[in-house]
Chains A and B, each alone.
Chain A
Amino acid sequence: MTADRSVLQSNYPPGDLAIWIFILAELTVFAVFFAAYAFTRLQHVELFNEYQLTLDREAALINTLALITSSYFVVRAVSAIKVDDRRRCVHWLLAAISMGLLFLIVKTFEYVHHYSEGINLSSNTFYMFYLSLTFFHFMHVIMGMVILAAIAVMAARGKYSRQEHTGIESGASYWHMVDLVWLILFPLVYVMR
């Protein structure tokens, strides 16, 4: 890979095309899942409204803020590497990861609460969707954190620079997707009535 390649080529979309194919596929799965939720809810509005009240909206709001903040940190990390500030870049990435960790902790408390009430995937249709969607997303947060950690390590080792930072942009794009999905999931499952 030549050093000036990223200068010569268009920078849109940012990151590797392969990650965009992946992101598109992931968004498709989530979109179908959301659509399935919406259609099923139409048939069981009462049930969905009733059990929606058992969810912890404060926790979900904290998590929304955590993910938005983390996305902001990731943006700062990308800006930092664009001016060759590797140290800052790594720090911002670590900050983003810790926000992800906060999300996981809060979400785990929610799950523990549900679990102690004996709720599982087979309890009813609402919980099936709630648990499926949030757990699927939960795993994506873990995946996103692994990716962020990987690029943080590479950044610390000096693999990225002002000219070549496709890897960071790819990871950042993925993380924004994880955030975006939550921004749809939160109102759809927790708030909308």
Chain B
Amino acid sequence: MQYQSQAVAKPYFIAAIALFVAQVLFGLIMGLQYVVGDFLFPEIPFNVARMVHTNALIVWLLMAFMGASYYLVPEEAETELYSPALATLMFWVFLVAAALTVAGYLLLSYSTLAEITMNKLLPTMGREFLEQPTITKIGIVIVALAFLFNVGMTILRGRKTVINLVLLLGLTGLAVFFLFAFYNPVNLVLDKYFWWWVVHLWVEGVWELILGAILAFVLVKTTGVDREVIEKWLYVIIAMTLITGIVGTGHHYYWIGTPEYWQWWGSIFSAMEPIPFFMMTVFAFNVVNKRRRDHPNKPAMLWALGTAVMAFLGAGVWGFLHTLSPVNYYTHGSQITAAHGHMAFYGAYVMINITIISYAMPLLRGRNAANSAKSQIWEMWSFWLMTISMVFITLFLTGAGILQAYLQRMGENPQPFMVVQEHISLFYWLREIAGVIFLIGLVVYIASFFVGQNDPEATTAN
């Protein structure tokens, strides 16, 4: 850690991991509800569990993005953070808002929550991923603005590196596109059209800039490869991302009442979306192969390479699988979508955040470069457990989705939704087992923070 103020990142990372645990636990509840329909009914109905599952994911990813920014921006800018106090204050505001919102989901009925937060004044609730009460959404905007101000001022004051500029651009885009969450017309088609400006332009747009910047930072630090080379490729990759991804939004405009030319525009451009992910994989492996030194923090390197591979598989390959409109006609809104969503979020955003946490946490906890060898072994085990079980979750959901699309939408005698769900329950059981292994991986990951604490640091000789 080169600058004192980088330490504000630590609570963000810890809270992020705690929310990650909550996300996975509620994921397991939902997974069980898929096969044991009355599990926890009516105390925690499926929609509540799902809300906690997805919202916890979004909040912890945002928390980790913020932590990552507070960690890497001062180091890149070569100056202390503009206001560490503001960063700490915003951490608590964000955490309390998130905790209150989740408590509201779990303790109140959703309609009661809507009523006491006065949703009717500015109805924004009840849309997928944007379930937060309007007041929470306003809170998110305030936190995001304070955060952007803090990071922006730091960058202005210090050295302006490409990594910092790309990160800032991504974070600004994140804040700007979130504003569409406040637009909720009665006209459902318009509602959906601009809802995607938050969801798609986040995860297949500006978030990828953040991903690229964090990955580039970790690679610069761990491989010692010339910054010029890495920054150049960062630009090329994110250029390709936005060139394909912006018009690629069209792959959501096939069947929601929008004109039919989107089937062409969306198919053609989103079919190109795997290209930047592929470039990222090639780039990451190239940089690591050309490394000038062996960094003692092996798990960080493993997570970085894992991000590149899994993002390509999850976002690239599994996205391509159902992005062409003739295919999507049968798979839209099926378990195929769920399969893609799981691996893409894990591969791209969960893994990049664990990468930066893995790199930064030892330093934030007073180590020189890395954890003890024992801790590293635990962390690498957790990598394989989580990653492989996520591959299986994705494969089982894909199997479920293919069968679902066939039985419900393609066969001679299409069967009703609930009947089909019975037929594919075996896949759901297998998915749940893979989910339990994922949880074990997560426990091992958390344990890696505590084992071998008194052992000496690992060195490159190991």
Contacts and interface: CB of A to CB of B under 8 A. Distances in A.
Q: Do A and B touch each other in the complex, judged by CB within 8 A?
A: yes
Interface of A: 18, 21-22, 25, 28-29, 32-33, 36, 121-122, 128-129, 132
Contacts of B272: 25, 28-29, 32
B243 interface: yes
A171 B269 CA distance: 24
B275 interface: yes
Given A25-B240, A25-B275, A28-B272, A132 B265 contact: yes
Contact of B264 (A21, A25, A128): A128
A33 B275 CA distance: 17
Given A28-B272, A29-B269, A18 B236 contact: yes
Given A25-B275, A28-B272, A29-B269, A132 B261 contact: yes
Interface of B: 232, 235-236, 239-240, 243, 259-261, 264-265, 267-269, 271-272, 275
How would you classify the secondary structure of chain A's contact residues: helix, strand, loop or mixed?
helix
Given A21-B236, A25-B243, A25-B275, A36 B268 contact: yes
| Dominant secondary structure of chain B at its interface with chain A | helix
A32 B265 CA distance: 11
Contacts of A132: 261, 264-265
B233 to A, nearest CB: 10
Contact of B261 (A18, A21, A29, A122): A122
Contacts of B232: 18
B268 A32 contact: yes
5 contacts: A21-B236, A25-B243, A32-B272, A33-B268, A36-B267
Contact of A128 (B243, B261, B271): B261
A123 to B, nearest CB: 10
B269 to A, nearest CB: 7
Given A18-B236, A22-B239, A122 B269 contact: no
A128 B263 CA distance: 11
Nearest to A121: B261
A129 B267 CA distance: 14
Given A21-B236, A25-B240, A25-B243, A122 B259 contact: yes
A1 to B, nearest CB: 12
B260 A32 contact: no
A122 B264 contact: no
Contacts of B261: 121-122, 128, 132
Contacts of A25: 240, 243, 272, 275
Contacts of B271: 32
Nearest to B265: A132
A122 B259 CA distance: 7
Contacts of A29: 268-269, 272
Given A28-B272, A121-B259, A122-B259, A36 B236 contact: no
B165 to A, nearest CB: 17
Given A18-B236, A25-B243, A132-B265, 20 more contacts: A18-B235, A22-B239, A25-B272, A25-B275, A29-B268, A29-B269, A29-B272, A32-B268, A32-B271, A32-B272, A36-B264, A36-B268, A121-B259, A121-B261, A122-B260, A122-B261, A128-B260, A128-B264, A129-B264, A132-B261
